Amino acid sequence: MKLLQVFLTDTHWAIILVLLPLAAAVLCFLFSRVASFIGVTTLFALLLSVVGLGWQMRETGVYHHAIGGWEAPLGIGLYADGLSLLMLAITALVGLGISIYATSYFKHQDAARFWPLWLLLLASLNALYLSADIFNLYITLELVGLAAVALASLTGGPDALAGAMRYLLTTLLGSLAYLLGVALLYHGYGSVDIAILATQAKSEPVLWVAFGLMGTGLALKMALVPLHFWLPATHANASAPVSALLSALVIKGAFYILLRLWLEIFAPHSGGAETLFGLLGSVAVIWGSLQALRQTRLKLLIAYSTVAQLGYLFIAFPLATIAGATVWIAVAYLALSHALAKAAMFLAAGNLIRFGGHDRIADLDRVVQRLPLTAGAFALAGVSIIGLPPSGGFVGKWLLLESALSQGRWDLVMVILLGSLLAAAYVFKVLGRTFTKAPVSHEAHAVPARMEWVALLLACGAILLGFLAPLIIPLMDIGNPFTISGGQP
């Protein structure tokens, strides 16, 4: 028992979280015949490592480690607090689901291409959540972007390739803007370490310009309206597991950086940027939802729903200037729930496409009877996306609503409620059609049970989050990630 405790507290789980998927990616590339096996095993190991890290952090607080004893700027520092832990956990959990799904979805050549890229993406994402300096964040951001683009292009065909190409150009542009911001910050304060920058930052032009560049670059990667032009086509034309991981995980990486930088460095010197974020977020919620409602193809509907749901994350910025931690907890909660629910939705859509050979909403043709698990997955995920109780989405939206009301921000109250109603409209537009018979029946193909169950379990996870707030919120708060540091507000 004691040995186990020592093992749990002394192992460098964080390093494993980065190196293991990297090594597994190489192995998958070399031994492509057993790639699926390696991949799923790795994901299980990652999940256990996150649990280990969580255990460690519950005992000793935040995790900090300088690899090889070299601190930033030359070395690489690893840092994990409650926010990082939660992001790592959701990545591992949703990643495991997507991986199990992928074992049935991809065969032969496709699998050989998918696994190395996917594991590389996971390694980069984990490194992103563990980075302690803004330059390493750039590197990981770029790696995530490149791996994601390669994954998006896997399906081949003009639509997917064009989507991937557009995504690549966008993501590179975003990274370069971010890097220019890094250069300015380094010039201004002589460091790339987030903690040092937090203490040095002052309200002055170099900081504002740097934030403008970094914020724009990250907003581009997160498809914040009006920079969302690339997202629907890319997410809708990729294969189902890839759509799921793009919408659920990759976007969250960029958001994590933005949130981290905001909390640590920029919030006290924002110069009103939160108002702009709030405005754009509101537009994203309404406009994205309306677009989703207009779609006739399921995957495009889900992709626009992502645009809308990301808007909620930005609505929090103006609220947080007064309400602080509560709002950020709401945001983190929304991000977690969205990751689970959106992955479930895209995987469910993948099942429907496999089943009927199309994703036209009007022709869903009684799938509620023929693929009940998939229909159930879509419905439960939809409940969380709408924000109906009991679900993770409800917890997040309730906390947001509460803050907006207590601050008298009626504009945001209306946006939050209207966004939920529109989400209900587009989710039930799909669900209603799952009960009816299509005018012309299509030939149906069998869907492996594993693919149905994964989608359903992820959706159940999003619902379950609604009950777990008392457990998860204290974990999030390890190291007080949501307390604004860096000088006086």
Partner 1 sequence: MSNISFALAGIGLFVLGLYALIVHDHLLRKILAINIMGSGVSLVLVALAKHGGDALPDVVPHAMVITGIVVAVSATAVALVLMVKLATETGRAMLPDDSTE
Partner 2 sequence: MNWDAWIPLLVVASSLLPGLVIFTLAEEQVRLRTALNLLGAFVKLALVSWMVWGVYNGHHFETRLPLLPNLEFVLRAGPLALLFVGLSTVLWLVTTIYAIGYLEGSPHRSRFFGFFSLCVTATVGVALSGNMITFLIFYELLTLATYPLLIHRGTEEARKAGHTYLVYTMIGGALLLLGTAWLYSLTGTLEFTPRGFLAGLGEEHRHALIIIFVLMIAGLGVKAAIVPLHGWLPLAMVAPAPVSALLHAVAVVKAGAFGIVRVVYDVFGVDFATGLGVMEPLAWLAGFTIIYGSLRALFQDDLKRRLAFSTISQVSYVVLGVAIAGPIATIGGVVHLVHQGLMKITLFFCAGNLAETLGIHKVSEMNGVGQRMPWTMAAFTVGAFGMIGAPPVAGFISKWYLGMGALEAGQNWVLLVLAGSSLLNAAYFLPILYAAWFKKTPSSWPHEHDFGRMETAWALLLPPLITAALALAAGLLATLPFSPLDWAKLISVREFY
Q: Which residues bind partner 2 (CB under 8 A)?
A: 326, 329, 366, 368-369, 372, 376, 383, 388-390, 394-395, 398-399, 401-402, 405-406, 413, 417, 420-421, 424-425, 428, 431-433, 435-437, 467, 469-470, 473
Give Cα 461 distance to the centre of its chain.
15
Distance CA 158, CA 146 (A): 19
Distance CA 46, CA 13 (A): 9
Residue 168 interacts with, from partner 1, partner 2, none (CB under 5-8 Å by kind): partner 1
Considering the complex, what minimum distance in angstroms separates the CB of residue 171 from partner 1?
Answer: 9
Binding to partner 1 in span 250-309, by CB under 8 A: 300
329 is a contact residue toward partner 1 (CB under 8 A): no
The DSSP secondary structure of 61-121, one letter per residue, reads: -SEEEEGGGPPTTTS-EEEE-HHHHHHHHHHHHHHHHHHHHHHHH--HHHHHHHHHHHHHH
Residue 60 interacts with, from partner 1, partner 2, none (CB under 5-8 Å by kind): none
212 is a contact residue toward partner 1 (CB under 8 A): no
Spatial contact of 128 and 141, defined as CB atoms under 8 Å apart: yes
Q: Which is nearer to partner 1, 210 or 427 (CB)?
A: 210
Strands 63-66 and 77-80: antiparallel
Q: Which is nearer to partner 2, 227 or 404 (CB)?
A: 404
Q: Which is nearer to partner 2, 6 or 405 (CB)?
A: 405
- The residue within the footprint of partner 1, chosen from 123, 150, 246, 422 (CB under 8 A), is 150
Considering the complex, what minimum distance in angstroms separates the CB of residue 164 from partner 1?
Answer: 6
- The residue within the footprint of partner 1, chosen from 79, 101, 105, 135 (CB under 8 A), is 135
Distance CA 336, CA 351 (A): 23
Nearest to 344 by CA among 390, 308, 393, 296: 393
Q: Which is nearer to partner 2, 140 or 391 (CB)?
A: 391
139 is a contact residue toward partner 1 (CB under 8 A): yes
Considering the complex, what minimum distance in angstroms separates the CB of residue 376 from partner 1?
Answer: 30
- The residue within the footprint of partner 1, chosen from 12, 64, 166, 360 (CB under 8 A), is 166
Among 91-99, 142-150, 269-277, 454-462, which window interacts with partner 1 (CB under 8 A)? 142-150
**Side-chain half-sphere exposure of 229, counting CA atoms within 13 A:** 8
Spatial contact of 428 and 386, defined as CB atoms under 8 Å apart: no
Distance CA 23, CA 16 (A): 10
Considering the complex, what minimum distance in angstroms separates the CB of residue 480 from partner 2?
Answer: 15
Residue 390 interacts with, from partner 2, partner 1, none (CB under 5-8 Å by kind): partner 2
Nearest to 224 by CA among 173, 282, 142: 282
Considering the complex, what minimum distance in angstroms separates the CB of residue 159 from partner 1?
Answer: 8
Tokens of 125: 């994402």
Among 93-101, 153-161, 377-385, 463-471, which window interacts with partner 1 (CB under 8 A)? 153-161
User: Residue with structure tokens 């690893």?
Assistant: 78
Q: Which is nearer to partner 1, 237 or 337 (CB)?
A: 237
The dihedral formed by the CA atoms of 328, 470, 79 and 278, expressed in degrees to the nearest 10: -10
- The residue within the footprint of partner 1, chosen from 34, 58, 156, 428 (CB under 8 A), is 156
Distance CA 234, CA 175 (A): 18
Residue 20 interacts with, from partner 2, partner 1, none (CB under 5-8 Å by kind): none
**Beta-bridge mates of residue 66:** 77
**Beta-bridge mates of residue 193:** 133
- State the sign of the Cα–Cα–Cα–Cα dihedral 27, 33, 36, 37: negative
Distance CA 463, CA 441 (A): 33
Residue 284: strand, helix, or coil? helix
Q: Which is nearer to partner 1, 234 or 326 (CB)?
A: 234
Binding to partner 1 in span 416-445, by CB under 8 A: none
Spatial contact of 348 and 417, defined as CB atoms under 8 Å apart: no
Distance CA 296, CA 359 (A): 8
Tokens of 476: 């999030």
Among 6-14, 45-53, 159-167, 377-385, which window interacts with partner 1 (CB under 8 A)? 159-167
For partner 1, the binding residues (CB under 8 A) are 73-74, 135, 139, 142, 146, 149-150, 153, 156-158, 161-162, 164-166, 168-169, 172-173, 176, 179-180, 182-184, 186-187, 190, 192, 229, 232-233, 300
